[in-house]
Amino acid sequence: MHDARHDLEHLPDANLFDVARNPAAVHRLLAIRILVERGSLYAGRDDIADEAKQLVIEDPIVLNKFDPASGIQALKLPGVIDILADLQAKGAALTGVVSAHDAAHSGRTSALESTVTSNKAASNSAMREGYAMLWKYFARQNWQLVENYNEQNRSVENQIAKLREEHARDSEAATARLALLERSLWRKMADWCRRLANSGRALILRRAIPHHEEKQ
């Protein structure tokens, strides 16, 4: 089975740095780890310094393989690497003052925890404020949408009511015209019947008068 670490460990620092700063390299993180283990100055280059620092923070055991005697320039590595590497190198000589370092470390840890707690509280407060603002925005948008919807409904209902009123007026007018027309036809028929009846009576009278005169 191919061992990538074995291959990379045989490369000089410059070649390892070329692999480490290549975002497309498959074994990029492994190359950064080896540079940190060597205490190489390349681990402090801008291209990979942040990742090298994060590696030491997340996995301090990486410094167990670090040999300060093999890299005099190691103390120039950035940030946390400087502190931890220096402590690792002087660990054997500082056994007599472990308590003092522990106390200092505890103080820094307490301060860091306090800072983290404060930051977390501030972050939670900011998140709550952000959620409140978002909720207020969406509530306002929802209210506006409801108002617009109701306004449109009222407009449509008003138009429907107006159309119904116009339809009712048109229906009443049509009914009135039909009734008038029916009444006119009925009157014409009644007048015709009346005239017909009058004509019949007049004819009868005309016929009856001469016959009456003859009798006299």
Each residue of 42-91: pLDDT tens digit? 888 888 998 888 888 888 777 666 655 544 444 445 555 555 555 556 55
As a whole-number percent, the residues of the chain with pLDDT over 70 amount to 71
Higher pLDDT, 155 or 103: 155
Distance between CA atoms of 10 and 38, rounded to whole angstroms? 12
Mean pLDDT computed over every residue of the chain = 77
Same domain, 153 and 85: no
Q: What is the pLDDT of residue 164?
A: 87
Which of 61, 94, 127 represents a domain boundary (last residue)? 94
pLDDT for 152 equals 87
Residue 130 lies in a domain: no
Domain tally, the chain? 2
For residue 104 the two structure tokens come to 């200092």
Which residue, of 59, 74, 94, is where some domain finishes?
Answer: 94
With CA atoms as reference, report the closest residue to 30 among 62, 8, 63: 8
Identify the domain boundary among 33, 65, 94.
94
* Residue 214 pLDDT class (50, 70, 90 cuts): low
In terms of phi and psi (left: phi > 0; alpha: psi -120 to 50; beta: otherwise), the region of 54 is: alpha
Read off the pLDDT band of 210 (50, 70, 90).
low
pLDDT score for 86: 58
Instruction: Evaluate whether 20 touches 28 at the Cβ level (below 8 Å).
Output: yes
Q: Domain of residue 187: give its range.
A: 141-216
For residue 147, pLDDT over 70 is answered with yes
Residue 117 covered by a domain: no
C-alpha–C-alpha distance, residues 32 and 198, integer Å: 130
Same domain, 14 and 81: yes
Q: How far apart are the first and last CA of the chain?
A: 159
User: Does 17 score more than 90 pLDDT?
Assistant: yes
- Distance (Å) of CA 184 to CA 161, 170, 189, 199: 34, 21, 9, 22
pLDDT at residue 94 in the model: 57
The mean per-residue pLDDT over the stretch 147-171 comes to: 86
